[in-house]
């Protein structure tokens, strides 16, 4: 399948164990020890980040902190310090801006850089990547893994290819060979559910996906099937966006004591809906889709969503939908340890939108 976009030079820069690495840099006594940043392991906290020493014991983000302690009793648990992480992130992004203004921030520790028109004295994207890694190491005493490729898809996969402290360069002529042996899950947009379906079809690798006819994929996945095969060939025409476009807004709470009454749940949902509505109002946005998340004591976490015919930023509408969606779970019959309310499919909008209760 031929390329469909002009040649670009994209870097994906991904800091290594960023939160933990900042603490380890500033406290030499942590060197070589398993470190977890997150909640209290004697309570109901969860792991926000783990260094590589901790990961060797099976500890990973979103794992209950108490379970992390059981896996490795010698783990050092640290509270998150987001002010510190933000300051460090700003210093690192200042380094990136010395090479290109075309930067898409994905998180405090991750970004795409388009250097296509900004090669300057370096002459190549690879030379820029080498220089960035050197400067982050020398100036910030941290490490960053960088992937270089002709598009965002390839660059992101490449940055994870040789972590930590890695540099992987995939030239346009080598894209197909680089992607072919990888599991299908490595392609952007393929999550656990899609992966399960593909595996059931006998499609384990990117090469398998390439060999499957477009008609077969369209019949099973609709238009997403065509996109998957294009990505299997390394085609990705997404640009590096310099302006962050918010795609969702949400809030969630974990409770010290499980909620056991639907009346308690409703009261909290109302407060969370108001919080989400204020966030939408502040950003002059309206939401087409409302989602709730429920977590039970056994960590099962069902979600339910509803898409409205008219986008809304109205707290009453969001609360009513959240209550209705929660009743589609077992929350009225089981204890609840976490609740979440989210708004997505956001659009710019005035805030005098019709509510669920308006007359036509």
Domain shared by 317 and 263, yes or no: yes
pLDDT for 307-360, tens place per residue? 887 788 999 999 999 999 999 999 999 999 999 999 998 887 543 333 333 333
User: Among 145-154, 192-201, 230-239, 282-291, which range has the highest average pLDDT?
Assistant: 145-154
Residue 158 predicted with pLDDT over 50: yes
CA dihedral 209, 211, 217, 223 (to 10 degrees): 80
The reply to whether 298 falls in a domain is yes
Inside any domain, residue 108: no
Which one is catalytic: 31, 87, 110, 267? Answer: 110
> Is 44 within a domain?
yes
Q: What is the pLDDT of residue 245?
A: 63
Using the predicted structure, report yes or no on whether residue 4 has a pLDDT greater than 60. Answer: no
Count each helix (H run) and each strand (E run) in the chain, helices first.
13, 12
Q: Which helix (H) or strand (E) holds 200?
A: helix 192-200
Cα dihedral 291→297→298→299 (10° resolution) = 40
CATH of the domain at 292: 3.30.1490.100
260 and 339 share one domain: yes
Residue 137 in any domain: the answer is no
Summarize the confidence of residues 176-195 as an average pLDDT: 92
Query: What is the pLDDT averaged over residues 273-296?
Result: 91
Please give the pLDDT value at position 6.
Answer: 59
pLDDT at residue 56 in the model: 95
As a whole number, the mean pLDDT across the chain is 90
Write b or e for each residue in 148-179: b if 16 or more Cβ atoms lie within 10 A of its Cβ, otherwise e.
bbbbbbbbbbbbeeeeeebbbbbeeeebeebb
Domain that holds residue 223: 180-232
Same domain flag for 268 and 203: no
pTM to 2 decimals? Answer: 0.70
On whether both 344 and 268 belong to a single domain, the answer is yes
Q: Is the same domain home to 272 and 224?
A: no
Instruction: Give first-to-last CA distance, the chain, whole Å.
Output: 50
Residue 138, CB-side half-sphere exposure with 13 Å CA sphere: 7
pLDDT at position 230 is: 94
Establish if 199 belongs to a structural domain.
yes
102 CB-side CA count, 13 A: 16
C-alpha 171/C-alpha 168 separation (Å) is 10
> Which CATH number is 66's domain given?
3.40.1170.60
Phi-psi region of 62 (alpha: psi -120 to 50; beta: other; left: phi over 0): left
Rounded mean pLDDT of 90-102?
A: 95
Domain limit, last residue, from 43, 64, 82: 82
Number of domains in the chain: 3
| Residue range 8-42, pLDDT digits in tens | 999 999 999 999 999 999 999 999 999 999 888 88
- Residue 160 tokens read as 């994870």
Q: Report pLDDT for 318.
A: 94
More confident residue, 198 or 245: 198
Q: Could you give the CA distance from residue 263 to residue 332 in angstroms, rounded to a whole number?
A: 9
Tell me if 356 is assigned to some domain: no
Does the pLDDT of residue 3 top 90, yes or no?
A: no
Peptide bond preceding 164: is omega within 30 degrees of 0, i.e. cis? yes
pLDDT surpasses 90 at 284: no
110 is catalytic: yes
Q: Cα–Cα distance between 220 and 201 in angstroms, integer?
A: 10
pLDDT tens profile 33-48: 999 998 888 877 888 8
Here the CATH number for the domain that contains residue 213 is: 1.10.150.20
């Amino acid at each position: 399948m031929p390329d469909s976009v002009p040649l670009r030079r994209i870097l994906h820069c991904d800091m290594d164990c960023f939160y933990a690495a900042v603490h380890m840099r500033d406290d030499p006594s942590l060197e070589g020890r398993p470190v977890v940043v997150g909640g209290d392991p004697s309570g109901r906290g969860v792991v926000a980040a783990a260094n590589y020493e901790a990961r060797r014991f099976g500890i990973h983000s979103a794992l209950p902190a108490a379970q992390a302690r059981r896996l490795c009793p010698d783990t050092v648990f640290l509270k998150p310090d987001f002010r510190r992480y933000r300051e460090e992130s700003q210093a690192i992004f200042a380094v990136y801006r010395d090479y290109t203004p075309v930067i898409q921030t994905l998180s405090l520790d991750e970004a795409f850089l388009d250097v296509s028109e900004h090669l300057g004295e370096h002459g190549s994207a690879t030379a820029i990547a080498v220089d960035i890694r050197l400067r982050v190491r020398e100036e910030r005493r941290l490490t960053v893994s960088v992937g270089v490729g002709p598009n965002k898809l390839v660059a992101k996969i490449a940055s994870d290819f040789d972590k930590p402290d890695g540099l992987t360069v995939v030239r346009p002529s080598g894209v197909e060979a680089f992607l072919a042996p990888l599991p299908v899950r490595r392609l952007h947009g393929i999550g656990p559910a899609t992966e399960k379906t593909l595996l059931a079809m006998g499609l384990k690798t990117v090469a398998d996906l390439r060999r499957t006819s477009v008609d077969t994929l369209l019949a099973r996945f609709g238009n997403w099937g065509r996109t998957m095969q294009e990505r299997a060939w390394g085609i990705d025409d997404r640009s590096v966006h310099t302006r962050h476009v918010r795609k969702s807004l949400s809030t969630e709470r974990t409770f010290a004591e499980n909620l056991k009454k639907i009346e308690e749940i409703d009261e909290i949902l109302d407060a969370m809906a108001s919080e989400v509505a204020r966030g939408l109002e502040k950003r002059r946005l309206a939401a087409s889709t409302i989602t709730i998340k429920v977590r039970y004591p056994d960590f099962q976490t069902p979600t339910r969503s509803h898409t409205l015919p008219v986008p809304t930023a109205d707290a009453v509408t969001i609360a009513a939908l959240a209550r209705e969606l929660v009743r589609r779970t077992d929350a009225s019959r089981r204890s609840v340890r976490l609740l979440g309310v989210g708004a997505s499919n956001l659009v710019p909008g005035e805030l005098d939108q019709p509510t669920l209760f308006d007359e036509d």
